[in-house]
Every structure is written in C-alpha cells, then in structure tokens.
Amino acid sequence: MLLGLGGLYGVAATFGVAPSTLANPTAPEVTQCRPDADELPGNVTGLNCCPPTSNNIVDFGLPRSHRFTRIRRPAHLVDKKYLEKYTKAIALMKSLPFDDPRNFYQQANVHCAYCNGAYSQVGFPEIDLQVHGSWLFFPFHRAYLYFYERILGKLINDPKFAIPYWNWDHPDGMTLPAIYADPTSPLYDPIREPSHTPLVTLDLNYDGKDHDPVARDELIDRNLKLMYRQMISNAKNPGLFMGKPYRAGDTKSTAGSLENVPHGPLHNWVGKKEATNWENMGNFYSAARDPIFYAHHANVDRMWSVWKGLGPKNKDFNDRDFLDSSFIFYDENAQAVRIKVRDCLDTKKLGYDYQHMDLPWLNA
C-alpha cells in the first residue's frame, strides 16, 4: 500500500482483490499494535501511531431513539456563536493530557494506526489492516467522526454539538473555509500549502501542480462536472462508488469513485507541497493532525448519504463480511468501544444529519 495520498489515489485503479481462502469480516488486532508501523514514510522515525490500549472494550449499541438530532452545518455558513463553541471544544481537546485517548493528537493517531500498518488483521498477524481503498472507507470514517464529535460535545457540555462540513461540492464552498485560516485559532494548522488560501478556488481534480490560472467560473464548472461523474456516471453500483470487498486475509482491494476523486486530490490540495511527505493533510499518518481533516471527511460522509438518495440501485452492501467488519474507538467517556459497519449505515440512527444544501452538480 502506497503511503502518500497522491500515490495511493494515482494508482488505485490498478488494485485487484487478493484471493481469500477464508471469507471473514475484518477487524483490527488492537492488542498487538505496532509502534513502528509498517507503512510509515521511510524518513519518519520515532513516531508511535498506537493510541492508548484498553483491556475493557464494550460493544456499541444503537439507541432506540434520540431526544434530538445533531445537525452538521456547512463550514462557510457557521455563525459567531457556533464558531466560539467549536474553537473552545478543539482547544479543550488539544489541552487534554497526552495519554488521554480523547486528546486531539491521540485522535489523530487513530487514523495513523488504521492507515499506516500499526494494526494487523485479526487472525492474520502478517497482513496489515488498511481502511482505505475498499468498502471499509466510508464506514470507518463515519464511525471515526461520530466518536470525535461526541468527544467535542462532552468537553463543552453540549450534547447537541455537531462538527461542520466542508461543502466543497457547492460553488460557495469551493475554497478553504475561512474559519480554518486564522493563525490565532486552534482550527489553524501551519503545515498547509500557503498558496491555497480562502481566496483561491480549489481544484477537485488537483494533481499536485498549480497550472496556469483558470477563471473561477471555468474551474467551478469543471468541479461540478467532475462531481457528476464521480457521484453518478462512475458510481452506478455499490462496488463502483463505495469500493470493492475487503475481507479478512485480503491484502488489497479497489477504491470507490469518490474516495479516488475528489477525496484524495483535496487532501493533497491542502497538504504542503514543500513538506517532504506533503504533510499534514497530504499523507495518511499526519492527515488527521489538521482540524480541517474532519470537516473534509464530514462532506465525504455526507456524499455517502446523498448517493444513497439518488436512485433505487444505490444501496449499501448486504454482505455479512461487510456488515460485521468492526473498528475500535474511544467514546466521550474514554471508554473503548467496538462498532460494527452495520451500525454505521444510517446517520439519523446515529443521531445526526446534515443541513440541506443544493446539489448543483446534479445538472452538470
């Protein structure tokens, strides 16, 4: 598995599904996390991706009902009152003791552990678990953001708190959200491409190079047409949109359309070109160190829900190996929780939803 996001998504179309002698759901062997993760860039040394361990892991259970629904709003539309809550929550998360699994940097380590070979697959100690490039991509990141959001809400004593989403599929959201660009804010990350400011229209098909300037209207038109292709033309069934099966014992799979583009290019667009490994957002191990990672993936998560509403054939896999694959996260009370993919299929059952925005790419 290639390490840089650019490398992975540049070759994703060549991946095949490794033959499995045993069809099983995948799960991380968290009790044997490797501090020297197998797939870290060669020039990164002394980094331990392993989050704190726990011998007390409970199984997640969907509540029968919710008193309210947390609403995730577009980052470019949040008001001052919300921004004050959000920045306070991130500041508190960053100030937690480093060995607290809810600490911001330990939360970032979760992504590193699942994406850079710190975990092997249960039952296959020689095979790394990788949550990118397969049908695990959407459910893993949904569950990851779910617990991250709950932690933030607990820190500010607001169970209704919801993270924002970067609305990059809409013309009004096709720039770096301004709330992440204030150097005095805990939402800021200094390791970003400095030329990609909130005044610069993003390129959803970014290839690592800033080409000759293109008029904003033309670039927006290209972005909308790309969204149509990745959400409709190239996403006519679950395998094409979500990625192909990845069962215990498999070493490779194939990424879905949206994971390839624009998800991957946007990581690289934010990452710093002059950094050795395109840190922070441009590499698996460091991507979640940037607070914008969670807003980016919130819109990725939103696109999963949108896709399922576009037509009767757009349904989740009903394969038990998909539904019973699982991940382990820490909740808002620092309790280790095992959550299965089957629990991640409906945002409303998880107690959150997205503020409605038009989908102009539907007519592109």
Which pLDDT tens digit goes with each residue over 71-82? Answer: 999 999 999 999
Tokens of 337: 């929780």
3-state helix, strand, coil in the chain (%, to 5): 40, 10, 55
- Which pLDDT band, with edges at 50, 70 and 90, does 64 fall under? confident
The active-site residue, picked from 267, 322, 327, 329, is 267
CA atoms within 13 A on the CB side of 66: 15
Contact (Cβ atoms closer than 8 angstroms) between residue 15 and residue 252: yes
The active-site residue, picked from 76, 132, 170, 296, is 132
Interatomic CA distance for residues 253 and 246, integer angstroms: 6
The active-site residue, picked from 104, 296, 297, 317, is 297
The active-site residue, picked from 284, 293, 322, 327, is 284
Query: In whole angstroms, what separates CA 245 from the centre of its chain?
Result: 19
No. of helices (H) and no. of strands (E), the chain: 10, 7
Return the number of other C-beta atoms located less than 10 Å from residue 242's C-beta: 26
The active-site residue, picked from 141, 170, 196, 296, is 141
pLDDT digits (tens, 9 = 90+) for 280-337: 999 999 999 999 999 999 999 999 999 999 999 999 999 999 999 999 999 999 999 9
Please determine, for residue 23, whether its predicted confidence score (pLDDT) is greater than 60.
no
**pTM listed for this prediction:** 0.94
The active-site residue, picked from 76, 263, 293, 329, is 263
Burial class (CB in 10 A: 0-12, 13-18, 19+), 275: middle
Interatomic CA distance for residues 317 and 204, integer angstroms: 27
Tell me the residue type at 38.
D
Percent of the residues in the chain that have a pLDDT greater than 70, as a whole number: 94
Q: Is 196 a catalytic residue?
A: no
- Which pLDDT band, with edges at 50, 70 and 90, does 44 fall under? very high
Q: SS3 for 121?
A: strand
pLDDT digits (tens, 9 = 90+) for 190-245: 999 999 999 999 999 999 999 888 999 999 999 999 999 999 999 999 999 999 99
DSSP state of 252: -
Q: Is 263 a catalytic residue?
A: yes
Interatomic CA distance for residues 231 and 307, integer angstroms: 7
Q: What is the dihedral of CA 204, 208, 210, 216, to 10 degrees?
A: 0
Sorted by where each starts, the structural domains of the chain and their CATH numbers stand as 5-363 (1.10.1280.10)
The active-site residue, picked from 76, 111, 170, 296, is 111
- Which whole number is the average pLDDT over 10-36? 65
Going by DSSP bridges, is the β-strand pair 124-128/120-121 parallel, antiparallel, or unpaired?
antiparallel
pLDDT of residue 8: 45
pLDDT of residue 212: 85
Q: How confident is the prediction for the chain on average, in pLDDT?
A: 93
pLDDT digits (tens, 9 = 90+) for 73-122: 999 999 999 999 999 999 999 999 999 999 999 999 999 999 999 999 99
DSSP H stretches of helix in the chain: 5-11, 80-95, 104-115, 137-155, 216-228, 238-242, 257-258, 264-270, 292-308, 320-323
pLDDT of residue 328: 98
pLDDT of residue 20: 42
Please determine, for residue 5, whether its predicted confidence score (pLDDT) is greater than 60.
no
pLDDT of residue 211: 85
Q: Is 132 a catalytic residue?
A: yes
Q: How far, CA to CA in Å, does 30 sit from each of 4, 6, 119, 203, 338?
A: 23, 27, 6, 37, 11
Interatomic CA distance for residues 50 and 122, integer angstroms: 16
